[in-house]
A and B are shown apart, each in its own frame.
Chain A
Amino acid sequence: MSGTEQGQGVPEPRPGDAAHRVICQQVVELLGDYLEGGLDEPVRTDVDAHLEACPECRLFLEQLELTVTMIGELPAPEELDPGTLELLVMTFRDVTGRG
């Protein structure tokens, strides 16, 4: 398999259909290359088949993609974090009693 090394004691995949050629514990290692387009065939097809059959791994992948998206959306360091301005204005109104 191309890509990352397996952790110690990772069981061998069972023979059978493509979804079982890779197991969850291997899939999570392979998803890095999967996301970056670095997985060779036939492993890529095996991972696709596994993801179709395995809701937990699908969820893991979606959450990984969401993580990447959110990291990309982080405000630049020169911007105030979301919610801070509102908090400050609210406090200002409370303290000055007007607004």
Chain B
Amino acid sequence: MNSRAIDRPPRAPDDRDPADRAPDDRAPDDDAVLLARLRAGDAEAFAGVVKAWSPQMLRFARGFVATDASAQEVVQETWLGVIRGLPRFEGRSQLRTWVYSILANQARRRGVTDRRTVPMSSLAARDDDGPVVDPDRFLPAGDPWAGSWRDERAPAAWGPEAQLLSGEVVTLLRQALETLPPRQREVLVLRDVQGYSADEVAEQLGLATGNVRVLLHRARTKVRERLEAYHLGLPPAAAGAMTGGGA
């Protein structure tokens, strides 16, 4: 199961480096010290403040934008803006105020863009209908090997790097989750992200356990398909994303 930020024990009060303290914990001269270090090109100080501040910034951004992936991009763009703007920042306001003003701008703009984008879930396949794998990937009735994988569309090895949860794969997985039909996404998140049993998921969602398993399998195979397309360098349609009757 994930270790979530809100589950971790609260920070002890401390004499840590100012760079490592959250914005609200620091006294005004800490701010001046931190700013001086950043201007001097102290990469450790920079890494420290990125690590300390980003969780709160992500939560903030998430309030404006449509997806976790968008929030990640907003925060990344904010820090890039901070890097670029440091030479010009005179320190008359608190560092935090300045960083958050950049963040708010980025988050607002991205929120507008996100709202203009067609909600992906409306384009997703139907929830619980049709085969989980495109029938075209198998040999048709009448063939001596009817129902077996076609050679050219059979599962292929993804390579050892597929074991690695890279930044790209994280983004891809988040997007894949976002584009699932809502019921499938709920079931997948409860079961595979948060670790509830199928029975517990069924109870929480008011479904039969069998129905949960169907939804879960549909969701997992769809996400597997996105990973397959990524690792084999295919466009998703070629990997067989168009299952059943969905778009």
Chain A interfacial positions (CB closer than 8 Å to B): 4, 6-11, 13, 23-26, 28-29, 31-33, 35-36, 38, 54, 56-57, 59-60, 63-64, 66-68, 70-85, 87-89, 91-93, 95-99
- State the CA gap A91–B77 with chains docked (Å): 12
B192 with A72: CB separation less than 8 A: yes
> Which single residue of chain A is at the shortest CB-CB distance from B188?
A71
Q: Is B71 an interface residue (CB 8 A)?
A: yes
Q: Say which one of B9-17, B24-32, B162-170 lies at the interface with A.
A: B162-170
Could you pull out 7 A-B pairs where Cβ atoms are within 8 angstroms? Answer: A29-B131, A56-B149, A63-B158, A63-B227, A71-B192, A73-B2, A95-B84
Which B residues from 28 to 76 make CB contacts under 8 A with A?
A: 39-43, 46-47, 50-51, 54-56, 58-59, 62, 68, 71-72, 75-76
Chain B interfacial positions (CB closer than 8 Å to A): 1-6, 39-43, 46-47, 50-51, 54-56, 58-59, 62, 68, 71-72, 75-76, 79-80, 83-84, 86, 130-133, 135, 138, 140-141, 146-149, 154-158, 162-163, 165-167, 169-171, 173-174, 177, 188, 192-193, 195, 198, 209-210, 213-214, 216-218, 220-221, 223-224, 227-228
B47 with A66: CB separation less than 8 A: no
Give every chain B residue within 8 A of A13 (Cβ-Cβ).
147
Which residue of B40, B54, B130, B213 contacts A80 across the interface (Cβ within 8 Å)? B54
B224 with A92: CB separation less than 8 A: no
CB distance from A57 to the nearest CB of B (A): 8
- State the CA gap A87–B133 with chains docked (Å): 37
Give every chain A residue within 8 A of B154 (Cβ-Cβ).
56, 59
A82 with B166: CB separation less than 8 A: yes
A81 with B72: CB separation less than 8 A: yes
A59 with B157: CB separation less than 8 A: yes
Whether A10 touches B147, Cβ cut-off 8 Å, given contacts A66-B162, A72-B1, is yes
- State the CA gap A97–B58 with chains docked (Å): 28
Give every chain B residue within 8 A of A60 (Cβ-Cβ).
155, 224
Which residue of B171, B173, B221 contacts A28 across the interface (Cβ within 8 Å)? B221
Whether A76 touches B198, Cβ cut-off 8 Å, given contacts A28-B132, A84-B76, A88-B76, is no
B147 with A11: CB separation less than 8 A: yes
A67 with B58: CB separation less than 8 A: no
A23 with B146: CB separation less than 8 A: yes
A73 with B165: CB separation less than 8 A: yes
Which residue of B1, B43, B193, B214 contacts A4 across the interface (Cβ within 8 Å)? B214
Give every chain A residue within 8 A of B135 (Cβ-Cβ).
7-10, 25
> Which single residue of chain A is at the shortest CB-CB distance from B138?
A25
Whether A9 touches B41, Cβ cut-off 8 Å, given contacts A81-B171, A84-B72, is no
> Which single residue of chain A is at the shortest CB-CB distance from B135?
A7
